[in-house]
Chains A and B, each alone.
Chain A
Amino acid sequence: MQLIQFMQFIMSKFCALMPSSLIRLLGLAGLVSLGGCSGNWGWYVVNPATETGRQNLAFLIDGLYYTIGLSVTAICISICLGLLVALPALSNRRAPKAINRIYVELVRAIPILVLILWVYYGLPQVASLSISVFWAGVLALAISDSAFQAEIFRAGIQSIDRGQYEASHSISLNYRDTMRYVILPQAIKRILPALGNQLVYMLKMSSLVSVIGMQELTRRANELVVTEYRPLEIYTVLVLEYLVVILIVSAGVRWLERRLETN
């Protein structure tokens, strides 16, 4: 009940800043939406002061373990895959370039949800292997993301001055050492903001793996909604969970960027 008072207070402050016509419009919308939730809010489902509330919250938050595990594993694989796909694009020959183009265009054209379903339900039949929900999710997310990673790497590597290759050549470095010690360290520094974006994107897309039964954040929220029938409160908690994780990740990426800049 305190929360409702709090919300009303916020609303009144908010309204003071708005023209009156807008307030009426917002008030109307607020009435309509409140009408749909049978009069009173039910924050008790996630109230940490009660035993069931605590249990429900713990159930929701435990999904973080899978969401983060899924996203981080998938992004590590997709970065490696993306780099492997990007390198042929830098070749002067036509065949490697074509392989890169076909892979990128093909993978980019498949919706992530469709890929998840295909990998989980389709792949075991094709390859006659059993694949766990976790690894099906990781595989689908990684493949899907690798096309974008490949484009990011290609742009990053192409932005490095030709003189860096020439200098490497003139001190007798081979292709592998040139890439490893000269080109990639500089390219990765430049594409770090884009890689950070991809990680945030991946954290959000991992919610789609809920459809094949992965017990990550979104799946747990869905399950709790079914038993408690409090969608507004539970999904609000879900929104906050993603928000907190992603804000922390963004801050981490910015910190890393600053650290690399000072070097």
Chain B
Amino acid sequence: MNPPATQAFIKVRDVSKYFDKFCALDSVSLDIELGQKLVICGPSGSGKSTLIRCINRLERHEAGEIRIDGIVVDDSPTGSAVLRNNVGMVFQQFNLFPHLTILENLMLGPVRARKMAEADARDLAMHYLERVRIPEQFSKYPAQLSGGQQQRVAIARALCMAPKIMLFDEPTSALDPEMIAEVLDVIEELADSGMTMICVTHEMGFARQVADMMLFMDHGKIVEMGSPKTFFTAPESDRCKLFLSQILRH
């Protein structure tokens, strides 16, 4: 079933999520088209990570609906299949598999989940390692790599599953300052190549470069949403102004 062309690729409708009594997402709605680059920012605890974790079903929302490509994301076979085939994710803590080499980290998904032949998976893995510019590290273990290299491996690992959309959950927050640039460069290239992405980050310079839509969240709600130009120069809400003044002060 092909959805009408005007329908957004990801549709988030009135999604709410509670951790016990704490409301992490308060009736959030959002549309993302294919090719769009969305950057989400906001203070910690504002629900930005929870939102993208709900899209990837690492968290289960209690109310509302998330559709990808017109299909409801839930625990049903079609719901998990649409996730498997479309969504890749990069985590703050990299979450590489420490007992596997870099190459094995990249090949695991294609070989086990996609049933790809080992030789093909190896070619695919090397292709993406070259794209993130560390093909020479393929035989090492994650612990032997720097943080920036590990995060680039994590990006390559997600790309090996050929996702239509990439979710980044604060991809540079666990990195030493001198390694942030190499990771952001890779993400920027990916954005230039037309990849759809949602990125939670505090790197405002990067956001200005890459985003075609900015989103500011606070207390589980979307407070402000707009193009980077208006977002950075003329934010409407006071909370967003305060946040930007604090984060851009230095």
Contact = CB atoms under 8 A, between A and B. Distances in A.
B243 interface: no
A132 B97 CA distance: 45
A96 to B, nearest CB: 17
A173 B109 CA distance: 6
A172 B114 contact: yes
B166 to A, nearest CB: 10
B93 interface: yes
Given A164-B97, A186-B99, A170 B89 contact: yes
Nearest to B88: A170
Nearest to A166: B58
Interface stretch (A55-63, A147-155, A177-185): A177-185
A171 B154 CA distance: 11
A173 B107 CA distance: 12
Contacts of A186: 97-99
Interface residues of B, number: 26
A163 to B, nearest CB: 4
B161 A172 contact: yes
Nearest to B89: A170
Interface string B155-178: 001101100000000000000000
A125 interface: no
B109 A171 contact: yes
Contacts of A24: none
Q: Which of A167, A177, A182 has its CB near the most chain B CB atoms (within 10 A)?
A: A167
B56 interface: yes
B97 A182 contact: yes
B169 to A, nearest CB: 10
A254 interface: no
Nearest to A177: B112
B95 A167 contact: yes
A135 B160 CA distance: 49
5 contacts: A164-B95, A169-B57, A170-B58, A171-B158, A172-B109
Given A167-B154, A171-B109, A173-B112, 10 more contacts: A163-B91, A163-B95, A167-B96, A167-B97, A169-B57, A171-B113, A171-B160, A172-B113, A173-B108, A263-B99
